[in-house]
Amino acid sequence: MTATPALPASDPSRPTATVPGSKVLYGADYNPEQWDPSIWREDVALMRQAGVNTVSLGIWSWALLEPAPGQFCFDWFDEVLGLLVEAGIDVDLATPTAAPPSWFYRAHPEARLVEADGTYRNGGSRGICCPHSPAYAAAAARITDAVAAHVAGNPHVTMWHVHNEYGAPGGDCHCETSQAAFRDWLKHRYGCLDELNRAWGTAFWGQLYGDWSEVTTPRHSGTALNPTCELDFARFTSDSLLARFTAERDIIRKHFPRTPVTTNLMATNCPANDYWRWAQDMDVVSTDYYLEADSPESQIWLAMESDLTRSLAGNRPWILMEHAVSAVSWQPHNRAKMPGEERRNALAHIARGADGVLAFQWRQSRRGAEKFHSAMVPHAGTDTRVFREVCALGGELTGLDELRGTEVRARVALLWDWNSFWAQDLAWRPSVLMRHREQMRRVYEWLWDRGTTVDFVHPEADLGRYDVVLAPASYLISDAAAANVAAFVHRGGRFAALPFFAVVDDEECVHEGGAPGPLRDVLGLTVEEVRPIPEGCEVTLAPTPAAGVPQDAGAVTATVWSEHLRLAGARGVWNAVDGPTPGPAITVHDYGRGTAVYVSVVLQPRALATVLDPLLDLPIDKPATLDGGRPRNLEAVTRHATDGSGRAYTVLLNHDAVAHRLALVGNDLLTGRELHATEPTTLAPGDVAVVCHETTGDH
């Protein structure tokens, strides 16, 4: 079977594929239905004061817009819309299908989502019903059509926001209707039952199916389930939710043929959906990102979210659709942001290509489950630090409109594939410590530390624009992906794979002869045996002269994982000198005009820098505007104009608790100051500069 298609999200047939308007979008989810109408006028006046130009409206309004089946009430909605239009605030109008009304659950209990253990997911909270329920599909289509028809022709509806966070909570349903839909999906994928039995390896544990009716979703069972069934069910669920999105999108397009349609993804935080496929069906990519506030280096994970979202958008502009201006309410301990932190976070998203920054939500709820989630207007009102910072940020963003449409350019890419994510994290792997997310994060942190801006890329997508490609967590590699990587290296690319690499194909079948399967010739080795390292233990690696580090540089230590490698052309450049697999642990192989590095152990970010910087010949990354060294916690990302002018905008974010004196050249758009290298600029702790300058290169 063919693997997941991996087209970039740049289909020219899409109606606009751009962020609406000419300003950096600034605003929030607006939920006026939570408030007495007397508040609405104040809301709109405060929005103007804060510089808000766009709000997402109606996300949770289904029960108010359709109080009984087929009976619509738009009076309150029209009044709110009128107030927003009068104030010049654009509307990102939602389809309210993420929260069906209670009358729907009463009338259609069969539409409730069934969990793997057979329990029902009831109403009373939020989240999609069974994605295959005909009743839900009909009701969702009816309210979507009613809302779109009601506002048809309204030029202030500048964007459509379908549903909310598909996949959170997950959409994996095990009801009888979904079982039948899964069987149909499998028939389409495999054609016949013999082919399914082969692909799933059902001879194992005697799981052979003799009739399609025997095939089920991966329900709760005695012990580990068939992993290929689980992987296919993950693909099926992503496709099922995507079909719900496109159904609503297509209804909207009948009334709004030229208005961009989006839905808010959760790029790094939602394992439910294959967003490479989703992005192809979206006019504008948007994401929700909530800071890991207690993480000491939350700025790194924020950056990773932005880079993945920009990559999903095909390096076109994207929107931060939701974030928290201060604390959230659903983490175990919800730290409020420090003064200046929200500004720094918002501008960090802008740095990595966002053309809009919106929050959840405008006014902090007094009732309901999210009353302790921060908002632009907090419980304590406008005489607050939060609201003052909200207004100040709104003012600053108006000075950054010229950044819209500029692009971030990366020469290094990380392979990212939801299929590999799903497969690697299934049950019964050699170590529960070897998880996709942690592997990705270690590599991303190493590159963030050294100031290297990266793209994420599907393993079957064009790699031609990159100098270096890394595979931090490519446990699953299709034959097409392997051929793509091999061609990249053969043409002269520099490639590095991290452990547990290229183990299975897209049927979750171990490649013939074991890892790294179809990339054995590229890496010049075979993995003979995997030997996880017990928790709390370390393995010492010593460099050979070929490691490219001074021989007195000392050893690095590895954890979690080791592999016994049988070299066939590759050179061992770092050797394990103790632990369960003494011998070559990190290898280099020349293949065609390129180089392929294999790291068979788990290294922390600093050790990755020691080992991989010289082997991959990575340059020091420093923006052209900075004449001097870059402190580690000074994040600097450049957006380039695409009009051939050579104009560039470098956003510099000081994440340190100390000031930095920097030799900057250009014009700081936030302060309006001309900056000269001979008069060092002081960037205070937590402060940000957006420096406009001329450049001839990529940095």
The residue among 65 and 173 lying less far from Zn ion, judged by its C-beta, is 173
The amino acid that residue 251 corresponds to is I
Closest alpha carbon to 40 in 362, 337, 331 = 362
Say whether 497 sits in a helix, a strand or coil.
Answer: strand
- Least separation in angstroms between residue 177's CB and Zn ion is 5
The residue among 131 and 317 lying less far from Zn ion, judged by its C-beta, is 131
**Cross-strand pairs, 262:** 161
- Least separation in angstroms between residue 278's CB and Zn ion is 20
Question: β-strand 594-599 against 318-322: which pairing, if any?
Answer: unpaired
What does the H/E/C string look like for 145-192? HHHHHHHCCCCCEEEEEECCCCCCCCCCCCCHHHHHHHHHHHHHHHCC
Binding site for Zn ion (CB under 5 A): 130, 173, 175, 177-178
Residues 651, 643: Cα–Cα separation, whole Å: 19
Residue 266 φ/ψ region, left for φ over 0, alpha for ψ in the -120 to 50 degree band, beta for the rest: beta
CA 323 to chain centre: 14
Residues 205, 222: Cα–Cα separation, whole Å: 12
The residue among 177 and 604 lying less far from Zn ion, judged by its C-beta, is 177
Residues 24, 349: Cα–Cα separation, whole Å: 12
- Least separation in angstroms between residue 132's CB and Zn ion is 5
- The conformation of residue 519, written as its DSSP 8-state character, comes to G
Distances (CA, A) of 268 to 60, 207, 417, 418, 640: 24, 34, 11, 10, 25
Q: Is the peptide bond before 271 cis (omega within 30 degrees of 0)?
A: no
Residues 372, 138: Cα–Cα separation, whole Å: 35
The residue among 241 and 358 lying less far from Zn ion, judged by its C-beta, is 241
Question: β-strand 407-408 against 634-640: which pairing, if any?
Answer: antiparallel
The residue among 133 and 638 lying less far from Zn ion, judged by its C-beta, is 133
Closest alpha carbon to 166 in 249, 232, 84 = 249
Contacts of 562 (CB under 8 A, 6+ apart): 530, 531, 532, 533, 539, 576, 579, 580, 581, 585, 600, 601
Distances (CA, A) of 620 to 243, 407, 408, 631, 651: 44, 21, 17, 12, 18
The residue among 178 and 562 lying less far from Zn ion, judged by its C-beta, is 178
- Least separation in angstroms between residue 146's CB and Zn ion is 25
- Least separation in angstroms between residue 217's CB and Zn ion is 9
Question: 163: buried, middle or exposed (CB in 10 Å: 19+, 13-18, 0-12)?
Answer: buried
Residue positions annotated with a catalytic role: 165, 322
The residue among 175 and 473 lying less far from Zn ion, judged by its C-beta, is 175
The residue among 180 and 432 lying less far from Zn ion, judged by its C-beta, is 180
- Least separation in angstroms between residue 380's CB and Zn ion is 44
The residue among 177 and 382 lying less far from Zn ion, judged by its C-beta, is 177
Residues 293, 296: Cα–Cα separation, whole Å: 8
Contact 540, 557 (CB under 8 A): yes
Contacts of 169 (CB under 8 A, 6+ apart): 121, 127, 128
